Structure 1
Amino acid sequence: MNVREANADDASAVAAVARESWHAAYDDLLSPSVVDETVDAWYDPTDLREQIAQSGEGGSGVYVAEIDGSVVGFAHVYGGSDGRNDASTARSTAATAERELGRLYVREAQWARGVGTALLDRAATDLAADGVERLRTVVFANNDGGRRFYDARGFEVRGERTEAFGGERYDQLVLVASLSELRSE
């Protein structure tokens, strides 16, 4: 497996991984049609190319994991807490020691094979080198697999929020981990 910084040519592969992993993880929670709507809105390849081009600004980064030359997972660390990665977010977070892991998804066939951990480790290593101390992420409160993944790596619940998908509100947990205490499992 190779974990590297994403480039613009990876945008379509990242979108495909997002669609597959969202359906595998969230069809029972949200419904397949809501998953498709969300993936279409959040993972448009044109938008992904722009986000990848902005990697490195304000503590952001997009990483992909490849096996035999195929993208099987990705992670996206944002400079800000609102999921945006633009100049205003970079300025507002430049002095902070916390970043958000807004996206970490892996093809279902690669779940529990170390791909997610490798992506998280790469992002954490780069962030720590930039002086970032903590990493924050959000999971659905009833996403047992996601919660187990983050719990095993040292993330702790620091808050709760709700977010709307398909007109329904869903409970989410805000998780935070110290990069110096992050565990690879």
Structure 2
Amino acid sequence: MLLQIFSLILHFAVGLVAGTCLLRMYMHLQRINLSSSGGNPLAPFVFSITNWIVLPVRRFVPALGRLDTASLVAAYAVLLAKHSLLWIVAGATAHWLTLVTNAGFELLSVILSSLMWMVIGYALMSWFSAASDVRYFLAQLVEPLLRPIRRVLPQMGGVDLSPIALMLVIQIAEIVLHTLQAQVVF
């Protein structure tokens, strides 16, 4: 029971940090203004959650073009630390390669679930006509993913089905990822 509670708390905390590192990476990739003075409502939150790990990693891991690799490496390192800690606490006898692989698969899973939540948030915000900083921020994150789908999938009766199509694609990718993980790990 205590191991399950510890695991739950650790999973939540690590998911928050890793997901925020990935959000930071994605915002940088999409060239979204990362300053709070630029109207980004989440910038102070993102920086307060991630600076402690991204800034030291950035000294050793350079960016690759627009890709903030330090944030990606930081997210992976946090997930790897989680898997290692759970492995030690549980007294398991997993090979280090299994830990590395599981952390990589979890990183991909966090990316997909984060995308799913962004699309859900964007879709919910689109139901309301009031303009807000959060709605504009979510639009900056999700619109680049919806544009290719909108070129293929026309609006039907004035309803934009592209968010539903994107969520379907994300869920298919999650199924493929979990199947691949089961084949690789076992």
| Structure 1 length-normalised TM | 0.31
| Structure 2 length-normalised TM | 0.31
- In proportion to residue count, which structure has more helix? 2
